[in-house]
Structure 1
């Protein structure tokens, strides 16, 4: 935690503030809200222990359309601006997940009680109610402060069992909503098709590190190294949607939450409300060209629609090509490495990973992400202070909480002092919250690197199949396919000949035997040694230690990039985003 400047325990005055919050919901507060307690409501979480901060409803309307309700815990009601709780949440920026240890953004009194959507308890929420036709097209929507009461809590396993048509005692309590779960899944598939039609793509990555690429269960001896990498029900920090074979129900939830985030963003833009938008830049063409060369060496063609400009559809096509390859996981990780980090901005811009040209926001996780809390705070300002007409006497009024107002507003919705206050504060913290997210990701990646190093240290001497993912003058980078762990075969360990580096072909060639090591080649490697703290895994090609030959020294006259110098010096950190 010290290395990454992560917070530890909450200060006493922050805990005191959290304990001082009232759990009582007054009749006056309920009267200010849309009361949805009679609507069958459910939550879906990974397991029985995880707190639920979002809930779902789905109702069929008389005209045959569907009303989807996404209900997010109303954190902004409890964590108001400039309070000790708000200042601490802003300082932390995001919850951090380090294996079994989590560093929350807010105290447990909020995350596990007041803003935990518990079965049978009234809870305050902000709800996005979306009317969709049978083809999944949005007809209208409204955003409301609400009160709900959750009827059912399902685990991923239970929801997936319902989708599989299974019966049994464990599923009997959910018999009344089983058809709703099935309909919700069908709706999410329609939303996925629409997203793909825009050109958006998914990355097929394991939900946990060390998930086997061939679908075989992770060996018991690696259980202690296994932890979930994805913590949000939307696209999260990566910028692109991840599909995990082990958690198909998560893919369903992602489609629903991404739609909700998009709708909230459209409302913020239409009403000119202050907001922090999520931006995902277009990758650099050169980085993609390097991947195209690697794929070509593996006899996989990755054509671009436009040789001078990248489009998300290119990535969609790439992932389709990868799915037919035995090296899909390795290639997907390399594709992930070409993506630029997403960031927050006051200006709505494109989101490459979701193939969106208009603005996009994070709304669905205010318990764990400060940007989401800011969006909720701006919405609360609209609920309380929004002006539905040009003046108090104006006869023409609009419904600010409904999509029907879009294009019909010619005035400032918020009073100038509130608009200015929110804009100034959002502008002040927008860079900070991006930085805090990066620090959290660096810490999580560092932990993953240490876990991988620890695992491989215990497997020193073992032999694995690998794919050459990088060729440099000083050696080969090899990804161990079984565990998705990368190591370095140093050129000095190739003792059967003197190897020359051909940069254009990305190949090492033996001077006498003409043996070649090329991008994409599959080779067998043995774990030679592991430096745990530097997260450096040294590999040798199988048989290279037994072969006679002059030991090859590293040619330090060649020009290296900064990253390559770090690797040669031993700073081989596995912390790519």
Structure 2
């Protein structure tokens, strides 16, 4: 059904809208009815199937309002942008043509496939097909088979479908690949002469052990005056990817690389990502750099921004760098230890000035050769990660601040800032009340006081039972970080100016930043009047990538737990709703739902929203977010990417709120509350999902 938002912030354009045209996204329900969601409009516009005019679910469209009354109605007049052009489905053959029938929860037309577009596909084959054209007036779209899909590897098909659902094509169009193929591998001497040459300065990279796209490097030397010169060198993607050609347009449409557990869906072709632009050791590379003069107190005394040529001397993994930090021995140990000392000082200063110190964990799956999960590893952020993180943050901040000083006709230069707004007071109040129950006081009198209170709370709660729940709920009170030309600073990082400059191989906004910065350095600024639209597009694609990553991780969790149905695990309640509570297992970090229906044998439970809890009507038994519980895995549905758990009553639980925690992954001495059938598919409420931006190790270093 269509949405209805009664927010006072939204402007009601419904009055007098008949005959007007609006731009929005088409949402097609399972029943086949459509609704166009228009930003800042209070109600959606109803679109009947006969009025879709070649539009499909998720497409950005122009819609003309044709009627009002209780609900605005309209018809699509133009498809502005397809959410996706590739689909997974089955071929149905006839003598002279074929049809492609997509596997989709949303109603969509079959594709007409000319025999010349079958690409060796046969009747009933499962294939990846692409929409080639769909002209107005045509009953069916024309498609082509891109590739055959092997039924022997359902995992591969599932990952591809997740990417396609999120609107990320699986490959690159021929015109983009043709542009990429024409880029020469060798660096012309004329290009080197235009740049600052820092090839003689010690330069190194620190990345994950399996990384191939090294987009940042750090150079280090001690100056004659005793100060340190530290260069943050970033792959100069904007040198290779020229504005508005086929490669650039496709990269902009994707806007980001997508990282799934067993693959990367790259924003740029592999040869550019992993060869041309990757800052590999013992190779000359073109870079865009921020070079800082820093004293021993980690104070920046001077900086320089511009294009450079570098030569990486050594490639370190995070593990190798961490070993040097801990043992104080190894190749270039003195340099790495000095960089780490400066990074830790910068980190302490950040938190002292208001950055919020939310801890972060990265969960990775150990996969076999087929991509099936055979284990789960939880990675903590260590000093080697923080070393890179702090210098990337430094470069991002100084680039943004440098650009912020530029005015055109007394107006700020349109620029893709990365902003993170202050917390919403309405969202914060329930969290403050909840934190008070654990004895944590909170000052919400100003944004600065909120940051101080958050850091004090996180420090005081560290190691205590409530740590996990307070961290999770604290993050959920935060606004979402996004790209925009309206700079309000980055609250979570404590920066007045911030942008993304350091990962142009995998993020399009960084390419935009490089281009604007070069125009400023050249004193030849071209105002991009569409910059805000580009920012919105990149923010939307970033959210889509995050959803794809979550969906793929959930798939792997379910895949992993299929081998553990019937086993018991220790867990922590990670979310609560009226129909049950979610539990994340302690060791494997796999989240599943305990349905309230499976608790009826024990008691009837009501949802106490401000306490983030389900409370027993008779017993007073409470299931509150952050509580430790014991669960049994009762169902693992790969198709729905859903895990069902039962709460396990461990001995003495009924008489005491203190529940023993047997070893994870074993049969319990307790009993399950009920035999659980597969619960209906339910999504965790949106309020329980959002994440504030926080610094991470690579793949996301800042």
User: Structure 1 residues 151 and 337 mapped into 2: Cα distance closer, same or farther (>3 Å)?
Assistant: same
Q: Find out whether 1:24 has 2:186 as its counterpart.
A: yes
Deviation at 1:346, TM superposition (A): 1.1
Report the counterpart of residue 105 of structure 1 in structure 2: 267
Instruction: Give the distance between the partners of 2:620 and 2:481, measured in 1 at CA.
Output: 44
Deviation at 1:184, TM superposition (A): 0.3
Report the counterpart of residue 540 of structure 2 in structure 1: 435
Report the counterpart of residue 301 of structure 1 in structure 2: 439
Deviation at 1:376, TM superposition (A): 0.7
Report the counterpart of residue 394 of structure 1 in structure 2: none
Which of 565, 570, 573 lines up with 2:682 in the alignment?
570
Give CA deviations for 1:83-123 in whole Å, capped at 9, x if unaligned. 12211111110111112211111112211222122222221
Report the counterpart of residue 654 of structure 2 in structure 1: none
Query: Would you say the 8 A contact 2:432–2:442 is kept in 1?
Result: no
Which of 492, 515, 520 lines up with 1:353 in the alignment?
492
Moved more, 27-36 or 496-505: 496-505
Report the counterpart of residue 395 of structure 2 in structure 1: 260
Give CA deviations for 1:391-432 in whole Å, capped at 9, x if unaligned. xxxxxxxxxxxxxxxxxxxxxxx3xxx423xx2242341211
Tell me how many residue pairs correspond in the alignment: 495
Instruction: Give the distance between the partners of 2:452 and 2:298, measured in 1 at CA.
Output: 21
Which of 557, 565, 572 lines up with 1:460 in the alignment?
565
TM-score by length of 2: 0.65
TM-score by length of 1: 0.78
Query: Which structure is higher in RCO with an 8 Å CA cutoff and minimum separation 6?
Result: 1
Instruction: Give the distance between the partners of 1:223 and 1:548, measured in 2 at CA.
Output: 29
- Greater than 6 Å deviation, 4+ residue runs: 544-549
Report the counterpart of residue 483 of structure 2 in structure 1: 344
Query: Would you say the 8 A contact 1:45–1:155 is kept in 2?
Result: yes
Report the counterpart of residue 208 of structure 1 in structure 2: 363
Which of 308, 323, 328 lines up with 1:161 in the alignment?
323
Deviation at 1:21, TM superposition (A): 0.9
Instruction: Give the distance between the partners of 2:625 and 2:541, measured in 1 at CA.
Output: 36
The structure with the greater share of residues assigned to strand is 2
Report the counterpart of residue 390 of structure 1 in structure 2: none
Query: Would you say the 8 A contact 1:100–1:227 is kept in 2?
Result: no
Give the secondary structure class of the aligned counterpart of 2:573: strand
Query: Would you say the 8 A contact 2:566–2:632 is kept in 1?
Result: yes
Instruction: Give the distance between the partners of 1:346 and 1:504, measured in 2 at CA.
Output: 36
Report the counterpart of residue 477 of structure 1 in structure 2: 582
Instruction: Give the distance between the partners of 1:281 and 1:506, measured in 2 at CA.
Output: 25
Instruction: Give the distance between the partners of 2:199 and 2:291, measured in 1 at CA.
Output: 14
Q: Find out whether 1:335 has 2:474 as its counterpart.
A: yes
Give CA deviations for 1:122-154 in whole Å, capped at 9, x if unaligned. 211111111112211111111021111111211
Deviation at 1:535, TM superposition (A): 3.1
User: Structure 1 residues 547 and 447 mapped into 2: Cα distance closer, same or farther (>3 Å)?
Assistant: closer
Q: Find out whether 1:367 has 2:505 as its counterpart.
A: yes
Query: Would you say the 8 A contact 1:445–1:575 is kept in 2?
Result: no
Instruction: Give the distance between the partners of 2:395 and 2:215, measured in 1 at CA.
Output: 15
* TM alignment of 1:131-530, pairs within 5 A: 131-165=293-327, 171=330, 174=331, 177-209=332-364, 224=374, 226=376, 245=380, 247-272=382-407, 273-295=413-435, 300-306=438-444, 311-326=450-465, 328-356=467-495, 358-384=496-522, 386=523, 414=524, 418-420=525-527, 423-494=528-599, 495-502=601-608, 507-530=613-636
Give CA deviations for 1:189-225 in whole Å, capped at 9, x if unaligned. 11101101112123323222479xxxxxxxxx99546
User: Structure 1 residues 501 and 279 mapped into 2: Cα distance closer, same or farther (>3 Å)?
Assistant: closer
Deviation at 1:513, TM superposition (A): 4.2
Instruction: Give the distance between the partners of 1:285 and 1:41, measured in 2 at CA.
Output: 46
RMSD: 3.0
The structure with the greater share of residues assigned to helix is 1
User: Structure 1 residues 516 and 35 mapped into 2: Cα distance closer, same or farther (>3 Å)?
Assistant: closer
Give CA deviations for 1:293-322 in whole Å, capped at 9, x if unaligned. 55555xx33322225757333332232133
Moved more, 63-72 or 25-34: 25-34
Report the counterpart of residue 285 of structure 2 in structure 1: 123
User: Structure 1 residues 518 and 183 mapped into 2: Cα distance closer, same or farther (>3 Å)?
Assistant: closer
Instruction: Give the distance between the partners of 2:610 and 2:315, measured in 1 at CA.
Output: 57
User: Structure 1 residues 294 and 528 mapped into 2: Cα distance closer, same or farther (>3 Å)?
Assistant: farther
Structure 1 unpaired stretches of 5+? 212-220, 229-243, 387-413, 553-566
User: Structure 1 residues 332 and 264 mapped into 2: Cα distance closer, same or farther (>3 Å)?
Assistant: same
User: Structure 1 residues 470 and 23 mapped into 2: Cα distance closer, same or farther (>3 Å)?
Assistant: closer
Instruction: Give the distance between the partners of 1:116 and 1:308, measured in 2 at CA.
Output: 44
Deviation at 1:508, TM superposition (A): 4.2
Deviation at 1:514, TM superposition (A): 4.4
Deviation at 1:518, TM superposition (A): 4.1
Instruction: Give the distance between the partners of 2:302 and 2:249, measured in 1 at CA.
Output: 36
Instruction: Give the distance between the partners of 2:533 and 2:581, measured in 1 at CA.
Output: 45
Give the secondary structure class of the aligned counterpart of 1:466: strand
